[in-house]
Amino acid sequence: MDSASDTIAAIATAPGCGAIAIVRISGPQTLQIADRIFSCPAQPPSARPGNTFVLGFAHTPALDGSSGDLIDESLILIFRAPHSYTRSDLVEIQCHGGTTSARRILAAAVDAGARPAEPGEFTKLAFLSGRIDLPRAEAVLDLVRAQSDRASASALAQLRGGISRSLTTLSDLLVSTIANLELALDFPDDEYAGPPIEAAISSLELAVKQSSDLLSTAGEGQLLRQGALVVISGPPNAGKSTLFNCLLANERSITDHEPGTTRDTIEETWILNGIPIHLVDTAGLNGSATGPEADGVRRARSMIRRADYHLHVLDASQSLPAASLADLHMLPKTESLVILNKADLGTALTSSDIAPFASICASLLRSEGLDIVRQSLSTALAQAPSTEDVAHVSQRHAAALRRARDLLAQAHDLLAQHSPENQVLAASNIYRAISHIDALTGKHCSEEVLATIFASFCIGK
């Protein structure tokens, strides 16, 4: 398969019922294929200018003067190379939604010579043709997958070059540093007239700082892309399901005055200040549970182990049994918030009893304390959320940037020793750092890495 010479086709819209469905075709044979499967008044698609659209009929490929079987009344949008998403000729046929028309138009395109596209292949073509670099291609996927407005704004900032520009600045700085360093290495001291080694040392300091600045966005980037797993735990009957329902503003979990009501883990997605949260309600941690309730407790403990953050609910109107205190102290102190619930019934349990855990007094039945829970959780998850729409590096970017930064920091220390052998070693470190950044932008990137990145796209993107 050759992405550049093949003409590829795919349904670009999600399956199921919708107003329209879109079949996308791109590659060198696009317009000839369009002529064979789409009829429109006056001029065939191949005779029309780019950036135009026309209403007509999609049909099976016309053979020997026959017109083919009619599929659907549709619009065709024509984009001519290089002014298209892929920089190759591209058409989009917009037919009526549902599953049949789009599927039949795709089959017609394949009969007329197109190959079914691989996942993400249109975006891969955009990357291979040099229209976008790898961080921008990845931003397309982030935008499609964004679960919140904030995640979508971050992906858009990346698509508009937020990360690419910083990487180009970093790469340019390193290329000029290495050029000067090579010059210094090529000439003996008395003949060398280039910038002093001190200039290279300062450039490396700056490069380490630029890498660190980019890396500082990684934590929030992961939160926006993957979300956080927040688990509600606590003894039976403390008000865990009440908290779950209050936060979701939906009676999702059954609540009851009898302990042991929740038996299974119940998970829902909830967006808090733009952060996607996978919120989980669990069975009460009853050490003497048997049968299905004991299974529920095992599931609860397994969820607790995986959580990024814990909301631990206790009944503040009663003192805390030793077993419940032990359960509480199993939680990581910095990633937990204790809700001292049922304050309307009394305060036998206070924050000093559970120190050093951070706690909030609440009466969830009356919705008291909920705002503070939301606020504390939001602050705990995104320590210093970015105020403007900035791009955030992904885990792939962060891994490469960390390696580059470490190499550059070592190069800096080697140069500071002012010995010729160490200058050679420093130069080799800078070359390796540049190769990590090139792999990041996709300038030099292995086929395996590209395959892994684009395999996670949907077909038709």
Ligand X SMILES: Nc1nc2c(ncn2[C@@H]2O[C@H](COP(=O)(O)OP(=O)(O)OP(=O)(O)O)[C@@H](O)[C@H]2O)c(=O)[nH]1
User: Is the Cβ–Cβ distance between 97 and 17 less than 8 Å?
Assistant: yes
User: Is the Cβ–Cβ distance between 19 and 97 less than 8 Å?
Assistant: yes
Q: Where in 319-358 is the site for ligand X (CB under 6 A)? A: 341-342, 344-345
166 sits near Mg ion (criterion: CB under 5 A): no
- Between residues 6 and 315, which has the closer beta carbon with respect to ligand X? 315
Measured distance CA(34)–CA(48) in Å, rounded: 11
Give one DSSP letter per residue of 192-239, joined into a string: --S--HHHHHHHHHHHHHHHHHHHTTHHHHHHHHH-EEEEEE-STTSS
- Between residues 255 and 336, which has the closer beta carbon with respect to ligand X? 255
147 sits near ligand X (criterion: CB under 6 A): no
Contacting residue, 97, 119, 259, 385, with ligand X by CB under 6 A: 259
260 sits near ligand X (criterion: CB under 6 A): yes
369 sits near ligand X (criterion: CB under 6 A): no
Q: Where in 221-280 is the site for Mg ion (CB under 5 A)? A: 240-241, 261-262
166 sits near ligand X (criterion: CB under 6 A): no
The listed partner (ligand X, Mg ion, none) that binds 435, CB under 5 to 8 Å by sort, is: none
Tell me how far CA of residue 235 lies from CA of 266, 305, 306, 338, 341, in angstroms.
16, 16, 18, 12, 12
| 232 token code pair | 């509600």
The listed partner (Mg ion, ligand X, none) that binds 239, CB under 5 to 8 Å by sort, is: ligand X
- Between residues 120 and 239, which has the closer beta carbon with respect to ligand X? 239
The listed partner (Mg ion, ligand X, none) that binds 342, CB under 5 to 8 Å by sort, is: ligand X
- Between residues 177 and 262, which has the closer beta carbon with respect to Mg ion? 262
To ligand X, the closest distance from the beta carbon of 363 in angstroms equals 4
Q: Where in 299-318 is the site for ligand X (CB under 6 A)? A: none
- Between residues 142 and 293, which has the closer beta carbon with respect to ligand X? 293
| 93 token code pair | 């046929």
Measured distance CA(359)–CA(352) in Å, rounded: 9
Residue 275: phi, psi to the nearest 5?
-100, 120
Binding residues for ligand X, total number by CB under 6 A: 23
Measured distance CA(445)–CA(167) in Å, rounded: 15
407: β partners: none
| 109 token code pair | 């395109």
Q: Which residue's Cβ has the minimum distance to ligand X?
A: 284
421 in helix, strand or coil?
A: helix
The region of 104-112, 232-240, 348-356, 418-426 touching ligand X under the rule CB under 6 A is 232-240
Contacting residue, 236, 274, 276, 460, with ligand X by CB under 6 A: 236
User: E strands, 80-206, where?
Assistant: 90-96, 115-116
Contacting residue, 365, 445, 449, 459, with ligand X by CB under 6 A: 365
Tell which residue, 208, 163, 199, has the closest CA to residue 178: 199
To ligand X, the closest distance from the beta carbon of 246 in angstroms equals 9
Q: Where in 439-458 is the site for ligand X (CB under 6 A)? A: none
User: Is the Cβ–Cβ distance between 135 and 164 less than 8 Å?
Assistant: yes
Amino acid at 69: D
Considering only CA atoms, give the Rg of the chain.
30
Q: Which residues bind Mg ion (CB under 5 A)?
A: 240-241, 261-262
Q: Which residues bind ligand X (CB under 6 A)?
A: 234, 236-242, 255-257, 259-262, 284, 341-342, 344-345, 363-365
